[in-house]
Structure 1
């Protein structure tokens, strides 16, 4: 077993750390079909903050649909439980993001963010991965790679935003993503301990 360390920082040096115990020899050797960049193939032009929030919600909805669909097909009981849990978690997170967007300041939503995303493209409408053939460890690794990319994106936007409303919105979404990733890590650790 390998312990994978994940660290969420607030950009000021304060951090919450959590870890996952995983057997990942294949992943380290690059033989597992998990991309380290889950959005590498389909670039999408996102120009305003509301586009990015839509993309984030869509990403969580896609993960929820894929995990739910693959949970029925998986042969391993722990993996089924994990897929069902993640599907429910991602669905709830997408709904929360939708509520945040509906109550956000319109000026913040219409803030242009193209400059940052032109150098770091965001991707959309990917096909589902084969979660039904992945191990619990591979599923865990993939979901945390995705969440960490979203967190990194919002952290960067929160640092670079020049308009107060946009900065506050980015910080709110960053806190939400960090909190939900830590909650997810706790549940994944419980499944790994079974």
Structure 2
């Protein structure tokens, strides 16, 4: 989210085949692009090509970077007296990344950015967890341990048996969409977060 908002969208993203990136029916086989993960779904909606790494050289490069971070970061955090996640995130953004880039970054062959500017509001509606649900007979939706009660709607009597999508945002809050229309918002614990927004959205 920070990269896409700060720099824009890349044409493609080259990653390993970790289970958060791709579904692989059998270890070592090709990834299943017909059943995308949440990451794959989001990248597809953004128009970013997602390329899985298969060669040992490609995997080795990413693993070396992970090794560098895993060895250096814990020591740097300890030396800085960092003891919680929020402080760690601030330290990484404000201190560590700058020092890391000074040491390891290399200038690009072409200086002009290839990133494409993105609308932060659109990104917020895509870079989230999104799952399909069918509304129950009591006009509720089960999402994890929560049962979300849909509020009265000015455009229809109920949504019983309707197919909807539930989006869970990074801050834990939720929203329910019927087609392009957001029909309800909820706090992380499931409390209804105000009246439904009945305006059409492109997201």
TM class, shorter-chain normalised? under 0.3
Bigger strand fraction: 2
| Bigger Rg, which one | 2
Bigger helix fraction: 1
TM-score where L is the length of structure 2: 0.22
- Higher RCO, Cα 8 Å, sep 6+: 1
